[in-house]
A and B are shown apart, each in its own frame.
Chain A
Amino acid sequence: MSTKFLIDNAKLIELSINENAEEIEKLDQEIGDGDHIFNVQRGIKLVIDLEPTIKNLPMSKALNTIAMKVLSGIGGSSGALFGTLFMTLAKGKDIDNGIDFNKTVEIFYDAVQAVKMRGKADIGEKTMMDVLIPVANTLKDLNQKEISMETILSKVIEVAEEGMLSTKELIATKGRASFLGERAKGHIDPGARSSQIMITTVCESVINS
């Protein structure tokens, strides 16, 4: 993985998020306060705009620059959660000496644990953790077996979709939707949907490259 990989994927994510922007906004207006899509779009744009700044930086510095930008530039829960994600990725051991798939799996797993702590949310609470936790676990589990990277990533795409869809029947206990109680049932969580889109985009781009 390189800083070019980060920016290239941010650009791909921007395209797929924009394609689904109306759906995400509508989901958030049903069970949240309607700001999620703007936070996500603003965050992606901020990361893409960092291209000249981070292009030649070592990975740890590049990821930390992204973390600080996302943290201060997005605001809301998304800023804190994605800021925590990138900040933890940046702290990954030896990442300036190159990141292979094993390393990616390892630092992503740790980053998801940190996000889980920050948001104090676990699986089953109708949040983006319903996507991120199963994805991190699947990556870690399958990577320990003799399975090709392409097969693992295809499985991750499936797991992300299942996780996203599972939020539909959940009652939220975390995040804005939790203030709705039963009324949020029947709606997919917007954060789970946007995370699933991001994960799927990155997995597909790696599979196709």
Chain B
Amino acid sequence: MKKFMNNADDFLNESLQGFKMAHSDIVNVHFDPSFITRSAKTKEGKVSLISGGGSGHEPMHGGLVGFGMLDAACPGYVFSAPTPDQMVAASEAVDSGAGVLFIVKNYSGDIMNFEMGSEMLTGKSATVLTNDDVAVEDSSFTTGRRGVAATVLVEKIVGSLAETGASLEECKVLGDKVNKNSGTMGVAFSSCTVPAAGKPTFDLQLDEIEFGVGIHGEPGRRKDKIKPSKEITDEMLEAIMEDLKPNNNEELLLFVNGMGGTPLLELYLIFDNAMKYIESRNLKVSKSLVGNYCTSLEMQGASITLTKLDGEIVKHWDSPVHTAAMRWGM
């Protein structure tokens, strides 16, 4: 394993310290327990958005704290859920009285810890659970699909609504809608290495790809041989379309997300390939996002997310945002 690291125990804290100093105009990082807040106080009457999860998915979620998005983020150890004391401390720091909306990716550890956190809170809270990953089928008795890259979109769109002074219930409803309107499919070209583990999370031969990979390197649908990008992109979109079933001429947001180890040059190539597929299906991409937002450490790979748009979603997508990782309109 080669990583910029001094020792595994200090890995996360040193990175959080760096993040704090690099973005002191936008965020503040608190320790024992760790949570990230905006440098400015939440304004009176505004619902607070709090997300969190294992570290290793940067910039999600700490890099998404700031005006128009999250009020706080709780980073767990690498690929390990944050703990209830973090959620409680973050809530107490940012709740202005209007309540806390937790945005949680559908992973059992995250759910249990956020659940315990909200049980320990005295103020009101609600939760939006994201489960946009179409790779692994939902069924009547599973814990269901994984929450992955669309979580970033939920945070942006609901974050914008919260800035308008909307109620906790309204924020939850919009969050659930964006999640329901979104589908994601990921592919890995290489594994990733958790610092404390020191060796790759899974094995992938040089000419193999993992189709439907999760954001911790959990296996997806199958291993395939590497093939031209066009074919991979088509198959990813095929899987998303099957699930989302957009109407003819429906407007979409196309989000090409890097897993951490794939250059932007390739992500834009995927975007080109995806556009060709989508246009050939009589659909329209009217909003877009390309970059590394929901990563898996140094994993090579990418995910594609499609979100069906409506007026409300578009308005809150376009509105100003100022976070470490996303900034426009201000």
Contact = CB atoms under 8 A, between A and B. Distances in A.
Given A79-B83, A173-B142, A29 B116 contact: no
B83 A176 contact: no
Interface stretch (A70-78, A131-139, A156-164, A197-205): A70-78
B146 to A, nearest CB: 6
Q: How large is the interface on B (under 10, 10 to 19, 20 to 34, 35 or more residues)?
A: 35 or more
B102 to A, nearest CB: 14
Contact of B76 (A32, A75, A118, A174): A75
Interface centre among A34, A39, A175 (most CB of B within 10 A): A34
B279 interface: no
B196 interface: yes
Interface stretch (A9-17, A48-56, A102-110, A179-187): A179-187
Nearest to B135: A179
B64 interface: no
A150 interface: no
Given A34-B201, A178-B142, A76 B81 contact: yes
Interface string A60-81: 0000000010011111111111
B224 interface: no
A83 B218 contact: no
Contact of A178 (B85, B116, B143): B143
B84 interface: yes
A33 interface: yes
A76 B76 contact: yes
A93 B250 CA distance: 60
Interface string B192-235: 00101100011000000000001011111000000000000000
Chain A interface main SS type? helix
Interface string A11-37: 000000000000001000100111100
B84 A173 contact: no
Contacts of A76: 54, 76-77, 80-81, 109, 113
A15 B141 CA distance: 37
Contact of B84 (A25, A71, A176): A71
Nearest to B140: A173
Interface residues of A, number: 34
A38 B219 contact: no
Contact of B218 (A32, A78, A81): A32
A77 B146 contact: no
Contacts of A176: 107-108, 216, 218
A81 B141 CA distance: 20
B143 A33 contact: no
Given A33-B201, A38-B197, A71-B83, A80 B109 contact: yes
Contact of B112 (A32, A33, A39, A118): A118
Contact of A183 (B108, B216, B219): B219
A175 B54 CA distance: 15
A83 B84 CA distance: 10
A77 B108 contact: yes
Given A179-B218, A180-B219, A29 B201 contact: yes
Contact of A81 (B112, B136, B219): B112
B79 interface: yes
Interface of B: 33, 54, 76-86, 107-109, 112-113, 115-116, 136-137, 139, 141-143, 146, 194, 196-197, 201-202, 214, 216-220
Given A39-B80, A79-B113, 5 more contacts: A35-B197, A78-B109, A80-B81, A175-B143, A183-B219
21 contacts: A32-B218, A33-B216, A35-B78, A75-B76, A75-B80, A75-B83, A75-B113, A76-B113, A79-B109, A80-B109, A80-B112, A80-B116, A81-B112, A83-B84, A173-B139, A173-B143, A174-B142, A176-B218, A179-B136, A179-B214, A179-B219
Interface of A: 25, 29, 32-35, 38-39, 68, 71-81, 83-84, 118-120, 173-176, 178-181, 183
